């Protein structure tokens, strides 16, 4: 299988993100951090190179989870606690419990059925779950040039498609899993689950 460079090089990933998002490239982390209280344990699911950890409120204890060998090696070298796990498989093997689980612009990697079950599994792993997703009003057809380019760049052993959701699809998926839906702005929507005490 041909592997794309997007998740094999931290520098490529961060540069590509900077080119795409410009000065707003850290906005998604701030959106997520606004829902995280101080001093809690945080699991960053599909963490990429772990950039969220620099945006957390004070006293938070950060753990990353990703399947990319390159990103997880980078985090381990910087003493960032990191779980290596392929989310096409269930999260049931993970024993830890977290105050908050976060997932940023990554639901787009999973087909609707796995997205749905993953959202439910996350509610067992954490008391609060915050999903920040990039959304579009202009969903690209499966074979479009942009879709093929994104699939090529992000191809790995564990991720074979990247398909940005419409706000409507995202809302349907998160509300079906018991999350509250919020439209954050033109680019992002948020799904929030909070366990009742």
Ligand X SMILES: C[S@@+](CC[C@H](N)C(=O)[O-])C[C@H]1O[C@@H](n2cnc3c(N)ncnc32)[C@H](O)[C@@H]1O
* Distance set, CA 133 to CA 18, 40, 79, 185 (Å): 17, 22, 27, 11
With binding defined as CB under 6 A, does residue 7 bind ligand X?
Answer: yes
Comparison of 67 and 177: residue with beta carbon closer to ligand X: 67
Q: How far apart are the first and last CA of the chain?
A: 47
* Distance set, CA 22 to CA 27, 138, 146, 184 (Å): 10, 21, 19, 18
Count H helices, E strands: the chain?
A: 6, 8
Contact track, ligand X, 87-106, x by CB under 6 A: xx---------------xxx
Residues in region 57-86 near ligand X by CB under 6 A: 66-68, 71, 86
With binding defined as CB under 6 A, does residue 51 bind ligand X?
Answer: yes
State the nearest-atom distance from the C-beta of 197 to ligand X, in Å. 28
With binding defined as CB under 6 A, does residue 126 bind ligand X?
Answer: no
Residue matched to tokens 């989310």? 87
Residue matched to tokens 């997520």? 32
Residues in region 166-195 near ligand X by CB under 6 A: none
Comparison of 189 and 197: residue with beta carbon closer to ligand X: 189
Residues that bind ligand X (CB under 6 A): 7, 28, 46-48, 51, 66-68, 71, 86-88, 104-106, 109, 158-159
């Amino acid at each position: 299988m041909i592997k794309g460079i997007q998740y094999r090089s931290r520098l490529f990933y961060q540069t590509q993100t900077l080119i795409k998002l410009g000065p707003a490239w850290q906005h998604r982390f701030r959106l997520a951090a606004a829902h995280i209280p101080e001093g809690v344990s945080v699991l960053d699911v599909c963490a990429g190179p772990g950039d969220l950890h620099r945006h957390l409120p004070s006293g938070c204890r950060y753990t990353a989870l990703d399947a990319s060998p390159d990103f997880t090696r980078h985090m381990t070298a910087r003493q960032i606690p990191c779980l290596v796990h392929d989310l096409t498989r269930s999260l049931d093997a993970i024993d830890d419990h977290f105050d908050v689980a976060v997932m940023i612009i990554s639901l787009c990697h999973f087909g609707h059925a796995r997205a749905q079950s993953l959202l439910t599994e996350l509610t067992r792993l954490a008391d609060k779950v915050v999903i920040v997703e990039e959304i579009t009003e202009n969903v690209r057809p499966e074979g479009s040039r942009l879709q093929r380019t994104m699939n090529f760049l992000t191809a790995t052993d564990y991720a074979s498609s990247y398909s940005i959701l419409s706000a409507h699809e995202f809302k349907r998926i998160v509300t079906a899993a018991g999350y509250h839906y919020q439209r954050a702005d033109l680019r992002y929507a948020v799904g929030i689950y909070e366990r009742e005490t």
